[in-house]
Each structure stands twice: as C-alpha cells, then as structure tokens.
A and B are shown apart, each in its own frame.
Chain A
Amino acid sequence: MYPGNGKLSHVTTDFTCRIRMLVLVAGIAVLSPRADAQSAAVTFRIEAGEIRTPLAADAGDATRGRAAAAARDGGNCQLCHALPDMQAVFAGTLAPPLHGVGARLTEGQLRLRVVDSSVVNRDTIMPAYYRVDGLRQVAAAFREKPILSAQQVEDVVAYLKTLR
C-alpha cells in the first residue's frame, strides 16, 4: 500500500472487485465481450473456474496456436512467460514458465486464463486476451478488439494442452 491519502480511483476498483467477488461466489460469471466486425461476439460461461465450451466452432489447432502465442502482434506470451519450445533468451520472467501447464490445468481452466486471467486473480498483470470492456485509453488501432480472436483463443488453448 502506498502510505498516504485515500484514492478515488481505488474506490471504483474496489467496487467492481466486490461485484466480481459476488459474481464468483454465485459461481457463475457471464462476460460478454463486444468484438469487432471480423470476430463475432461470443458469450461464454464461467463455471467452477473453467470455460468449458469452446469459443469457436472449429477445433483449436496447436500449430496455429503456437504461432499466435509467439507473434509479437498476437499473444506475445514470451514477454512474460518462458515457453518450452521457444527461445529462452527472449523469454520474460514476469510470470511462471508454462512448461507442463497442459498437464497442470484442464482445458477449461486454460481457456479461462487466456480469455481473462483477472477472473482467477483480480490483480493479475496478464492481459485478458478475449475482452474488450473495462479497458481505458486503448490506442485507436486496438479499440473494441480483443487481443486474440475467438478462433485464436481456441488455437492457443490447443497449443497449451500440448505443453505436458
């Protein structure tokens, strides 16, 4: 905590936090990202810490997923994570390595973390890859667009599942 005055901005954060906690207590949270024209808006359900239903009709493709995870204009996951099959020199250390994550977490848990990790950890620094609301001051080129499309989310999840 910063020693000092109360901050108005935190009143609002705490308020949304409380709402979110209530929603989690209720066991269900429905987020409905509005997406841009290219990616259809997909509504999904969070149940017991998972998103069980895929966001896209086509099954995820691990090879495409690896590319989307690596792309600097895509997931760029190695900014924070080390990944077992990517070059270690470019790997960040802001987050735990993803080695073995496909064995540790279920598909639904992986999907929730890619879609919006803040549901799992409110203070997370991991970006929500499939959310467009609740963001501020987004650069014009990225406004109203999730970082990954629904199909890319599925591809990345398929890739993460291979990390065993």
Chain B
Amino acid sequence: MTACLLAIVILAACSTQAAQPVPLKSGVEFASADVRSLQQDDFANPGMLWVTRGAKLWLEPAGSDGKACGTCHGDANRSMKGVASRYPRIDSVSTGLINLEGRIQQCRERRQHAPLMAYESDELLALTAYVASQSRGIPVNVEIDGFHRAHFERGRAMYYQRVGQMNLACTNCHDANWSKKLGAETVSQGHGNAYPIYRLEWQAAGSLQRRFRSCLSGVRAEMFPYGAAEYLDLELYLAWRGQGLAIETPGVRR
C-alpha cells in the first residue's frame, strides 16, 4: 500500500508530459506578417508554381498505356477534393500505411505503368501539392483504428522519444514550448496541414518529411531515408494530433 502510494508519487513526479496544444493553431499563425501574406495570396505564393506544374503533369500522358492522371480521374477539382485530408492511410491492397506521395506513386506504378518519381523530386512535389491543394479548407480527418493502430502507436512513441545529441523529442518543442522562440524562430505546434510547403530557406518546395529531417538534424539526430516507415508512422500521428485543422497546401514558411 505504502509502496504503491510511493510509486504513484514518484510516477507523478517523473512523467510530466506536456499536454497537446489547445487551441489547435496552424503553423501559418506563427509566421511573420510578410510570410503569412505570401501564403494567403495565390499570386504571390511561390508554392503555387509547384501547384501549377502539378496541374500540367496531371494532364500529361505517361507510361506504356499513355494515360494521364486526368484520363482516369477527370477534373481534379472534383475527384481529388478532400482526398489529402484522409492521408496517411492504410492501402487496402498491401495493408501497409501510405501517405499522399505514396498513393500518387502507386497510381504511377500500377495504373500508368510509368517509372516512379524520386521522393522530393519536383515532379512528385508538384503532383502532391496539386492534389493536396484540392482539399484546401477541408479539415484533416485521418483514421487510427484497425490496421492504422499499430502505425499510430509507433508514430506517437516516436513523437515522445528524445533523440540526438541534444536529447530532445518533438513534444519538447511542439507541445511544451510552442509560441516561444528558439533562436530567432517562433516554434509552432508542428502540424503538417500545409504541406508540401514553399520554404524561403530552401528556396524550393519541400515535403513534410523534409521538415522532419530539418527538425531531426537540428537536434543532431540520425535521419531516416525519405519514405521510411518511421516517417510514415510519424505523419499519421501528426495528422491525428492536428485533426480538424484545415488543409492549407501550399503553405509558405521562412
């Protein structure tokens, strides 16, 4: 009994964990006014270059059958509306977890019989940005049950795991310290609802996984290769913790 109480006291003293952010705020709310206005104006938003390129690729035949995405899916404004809000999700064929990039690659391979695009290539970023931008304003709404569950749990564990020479976990910055400044940068809640984004520092568009790599290298932790299972699990956990935030692709960041 006493031992039990003591254990409870010790556990309470030891496992202080920051709560998830309330209210949920998209990353753009932490950006400076000039960055925010870039994102909000489609004519100024540099990410729109990728979206426009994606719109062109959508109509370009590829692969042995000479089919374009649009050949099967028609007008993306209608067929792709809301799709991005449900990813990452379990692929019903392989029962593995895939993100939107992976879903596009799958059509590329299985439906177009065309060569895969490299992760983080301009082509894949463009198509992903184009497809995701069809869901602008639609709330993130991923599933975490069934086959999703194990991925979700792994993603969550990773989110709370301290890593790297600086020994920090995602939660230490994005749950416990959002809105404070890390050096000159304001720490946001770390949501993925605006990805792919255009980042001024990159002078290019980049995927959510590229952002993960920035955060991992910031704490001097080992990075996983693009498309790694670890990143997919983390994407699912992140989407769930930002459930309800409206999709904003293409976001603009510093």
Interface residues of A (CB under 8 A from B): 1-2, 5, 7-10, 13-14, 17-18, 21, 76, 78-80, 89-94, 122-123, 125, 127-128, 134-142, 145, 147
- B13 contacts across to A, CB distance below 8 A: 21
Contact B222–A137 (Cβ < 8 Å): yes
- A122 contacts across to B, CB distance below 8 A: 14
- A93 contacts across to B, CB distance below 8 A: 180-181
Known: A137-B163, A139-B223. 15 other contacts (CB 8 A): A2-B156, A5-B153, A14-B11, A17-B10, A17-B14, A92-B183, A94-B187, A122-B14, A123-B16, A125-B168, A125-B172, A125-B177, A136-B161, A139-B165, A147-B165
B215 is an interface residue with CB less than 8 A from chain A: no
Interface residues of B (CB under 8 A from A): 10-11, 13-17, 19-20, 153, 156-157, 160-168, 172-173, 176-177, 180-184, 187, 217, 220-223
A sample of 16 inter-chain contacts (CB < 8 A) reads A7-B156, A7-B160, A9-B160, A14-B10, A21-B13, A90-B183, A91-B181, A94-B181, A122-B14, A135-B167, A136-B162, A136-B163, A138-B163, A138-B164, A142-B165, A145-B165
Q: How far does the Cβ of B183 sit from chain A's closest Cβ, in whole Å?
A: 5
A34 to B15, CA, bound (A): 27
- B160 contacts across to A, CB distance below 8 A: 7, 9-10
Q: How far does the Cβ of A38 sit from chain B's closest Cβ, in whole Å?
A: 15
- B177 contacts across to A, CB distance below 8 A: 94, 125
A137 to B168, CA, bound (A): 11
A93 to B177, CA, bound (A): 9
Q: How many A-B residue pairs have CB under 8 A?
A: 99
Contact B184–A13 (Cβ < 8 Å): no
A63 to B16, CA, bound (A): 38
Contact B184–A1 (Cβ < 8 Å): no
- B168 contacts across to A, CB distance below 8 A: 125, 127
B157, B161, B165, B217: most-surrounded residue (chain A CB, <10 A): B165
Contact A14–B222 (Cβ < 8 Å): no
A76 to B183, CA, bound (A): 9
Q: How far does the Cβ of B137 sit from chain A's closest Cβ, in whole Å?
A: 29
Contact A142–B220 (Cβ < 8 Å): yes
A137 to B220, CA, bound (A): 9
Q: How far does the Cβ of B120 sit from chain A's closest Cβ, in whole Å?
A: 19
Cβ 8 A contact of A7, one of B16, B157, B176: B157
Contact B184–A89 (Cβ < 8 Å): yes
Q: How far does the Cβ of A24 sit from chain B's closest Cβ, in whole Å?
A: 12
- B176 contacts across to A, CB distance below 8 A: 125
Contact B15–A10 (Cβ < 8 Å): yes
- A17 contacts across to B, CB distance below 8 A: 10, 14-15
Which single residue of chain A is at the shortest CB-CB distance from B217? A139
- B164 contacts across to A, CB distance below 8 A: 135-139, 142
- A139 contacts across to B, CB distance below 8 A: 164-165, 217, 220-223
- B19 contacts across to A, CB distance below 8 A: 1-2
- A145 contacts across to B, CB distance below 8 A: 165
- B161 contacts across to A, CB distance below 8 A: 9, 136
